[in-house]
């Protein structure tokens, strides 16, 4: 059974002419790390939050979001509370915004599992101590306040908090954005070790392609609420089959590149207040034809790799090409 299975997810918000998430299909197996990448505003965070039904006010949904086999979108409040405590947990982008500066770390780590009677206070404190050790922090942190910890230490506390209920699914929403490069590398390595140790499925949301390559087994590339391309990380980064993926991979600066203007994706994503006809990336794509502008492409598997899919009418033009060619 998959830790997370999203099928045909559509999410609409008031005031928009088209879905913010438009037919998203995504799976995360137990013990697997899947990176969800794309530009800001592509729908990455909304997709991850749908696994906990943490959705904006007024949002309407279609499709299924299964966590450990249960549909999050249809369950009642009691079952949803149990799922958020025991089955799935999220590491948020800003740990300081997710903690109360007036309460000790020990209270923060144990509150949810004691209030929902998952554990006694003593058992919860013992579990919190074990998890702090697992993330490389001493038990004395339990008596400290958030303001007494560095950003990297507090992010480690957030990871420990997410693991308190022994979840089958861990959702990491850009967990390293506020950290320096050294702390980023430490947190990524830590998440990878914890995934192996606890067998937890990990959905890692990021705009950093380097981090995605370092941590993930598979990658899903998202553009304006749709999955543009998905496949094994090594294959997708070496041989992208969607022009958007290829453009993202060409954008970061490289030491061996000739001096001059940095590569960029011209144009802007389409406005949510306008209906979308055809491929969402057509207006910014060098391969676009009239077919692209009139008919939305379906995901097509690579002939040599059924697990590598791209929603592009002209994916064959990119097959076999290197990411930075």
Same domain, 38 and 136: yes
Q: Is residue 157 part of a domain?
A: yes
Helix 151-162 × helix 181-198 angle, to 10°: 20
Amino acid 257: pLDDT = 65
Q: Which of 152, 184, 216 is the endpoint of a domain?
A: 216
Residue 43 and residue 225 in contact, taking contact as beta carbons nearer than 8 Å: yes
Same domain, 137 and 258: no
212 and 227 within one domain? no
- Describe the crossing of helices 151-162 and 121-134 by its angle, rounded to 10 degrees: 130
What is the pLDDT at residue 259? 67
Dihedral angle at the C-alpha atoms of 202, 205, 210, 212, nearest 10 degrees? 30
65: which strand partners? Answer: 6
Contact between residue 222 and residue 295 where contact means Cβ atoms under 8 Å apart? no
Going by C-alpha positions, the residue among 242, 166, 174 that lies closest to residue 207 is 174
**Bridge partners of 204?**
35, 172
Q: Provide the number of structural domains found in the chain.
A: 2
Within this chain, do residues 94 and 209 fall inside the same structural domain, yes or no? yes
Q: What confidence score (pLDDT) does residue 74 get? A: 96
Element (H, E) at 79: helix 77-82
20 and 146 share one domain: yes
Asked if the structure places residue 323 within a domain, the reply is no
pLDDT (0 to 100) of residue 274: 87
Q: Quick one: pLDDT at residue 324? A: 40
What is the model's pLDDT at position 186?
81
Query: In angstroms, rounded to a whole number, what is the distance separating the alpha carbons of residues 296 and 325?
Result: 27
| Interior angle at CA 244, CA 242 and CA 245, nearest 5 | 70
The residue segments making up the domain with residue 238 are: 223-317
Specify if 307 maps to a domain: yes
Contact in structure between 215 and 170 (CB atoms under 8 Å): no
175 part of a folded domain: yes
Shared-domain flag, residues 72 and 90: yes
Same domain (yes/no): 233, 95: no
User: Which tokens sit at 238?
Assistant: 């070496």
> Which residue, among 262, 242, 236, 233, has the nearest Cα to 250 in the 3D structure?
262
Q: What is the pairing mode between strands 88-91 and 70-71? A: unpaired
DSSP H stretches of helix in 230-289: 233-238, 243-250
* Helix, coil or strand: residue 89: strand
What's the rounded Cα separation, in Å, for the pair 67 and 166? 14
Helix, strand, coil share (%) of the chain residues, nearest 5? 35, 20, 45
Are 200 and 31 in contact, with CB atoms under 8 Å apart?
A: yes
Q: Same domain, yes or no, for 102 and 190?
A: yes
Q: What Rg do the C-alpha atoms of the chain give, in angstroms?
A: 21
Residues 197 and 232 in one domain: no
Give the list of residues 6+ apart from residue 31 with CB closer than 8 angstroms, or none. Answer: 195, 196, 199, 200, 201
Q: Is 147 helix (H, G, I), strand (E, B) or coil?
A: helix
Instruction: Decide: residue 13, CB within 10 A, 0-12 exposed, 13-18 middle, 19+ buried.
Output: middle
SS (H, E, C) 108-126: HHHHHHHHCCCCCHHHHHH
| 204 and 229 together in one domain | no
Question: Is the separation of the CB atoms in 174 and 37 below 8 Å?
Answer: no
Domain boundary among 174, 198, 216: 216
What residue has token string 């369950």? 75
Domain assignment present for 174: yes
Q: Say which DSSP state 84 is in.
A: I
Looking at residue 145, its pLDDT comes to 97
Instruction: Kindly give the parts of the chain with pLDDT less than 70.
Output: 178, 256-260, 319-325
């Amino acid at each position: 059974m998959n830790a997370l299975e999203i099928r045909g997810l559509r999410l609409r918000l008031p005031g928009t002419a088209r879905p913010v998430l438009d037919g998203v299909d995504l799976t995360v197996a137990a013990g697997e790390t899947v990176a969800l990448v794309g530009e800001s505003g592509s729908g990455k965070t909304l997709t991850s939050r749908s696994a906990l039904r943490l959705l904006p006010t007024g949002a309407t949904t279609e499709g299924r979001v299964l966590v450990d086999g249960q549909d999050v979108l249809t369950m009642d409040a009691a079952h949803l509370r149990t799922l958020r405590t025991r089955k799935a947990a999220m590491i948020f982008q800003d740990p300081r915004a997710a903690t109360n500066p007036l309460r000790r770390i020990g209270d923060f780590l144990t509150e949810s599992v004691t209030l929902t009677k998952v554990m006694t206070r003593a058992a919860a404190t013992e579990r919190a101590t074990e998890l702090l050790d697992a993330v490389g922090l001493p038990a004395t942190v339990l008596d400290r306040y958030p303001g007494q910890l560095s950003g990297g230490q507090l992010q480690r506390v957030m990871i420990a908090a997410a693991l308190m209920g022994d979840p089958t699914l861990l959702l990491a929403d850009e967990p390293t954005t506020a950290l320096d490069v050294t702390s980023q590398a430490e947190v990524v390595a830590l998440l990878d070790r914890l995934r192996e140790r606890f067998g937890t499925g990990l959905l890692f949301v990021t705009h950093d392609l380097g981090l995605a390559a370092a941590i993930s087994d598979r990658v899903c590339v998202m553009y304006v609420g749709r999955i543009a391309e998905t496949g094994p990380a090594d294959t997708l980064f070496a041989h992208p089959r969607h022009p958007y993926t290829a453009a993202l991979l060409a954008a970061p600066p490289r030491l061996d590149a000739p001096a001059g203007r940095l590569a960029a994706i011209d144009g802007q994503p389409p406005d949510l207040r306008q209906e979308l006809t055809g491929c969402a990336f057509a207006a910014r794509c060098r391969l676009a034809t009239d077919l692209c502008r009139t008919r939305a492409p379906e995901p097509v598997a690579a002939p040599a790799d059924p697990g590598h899919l791209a929603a592009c009418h002209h994916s064959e033009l990119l097959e076999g090409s290197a990411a930075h060619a």
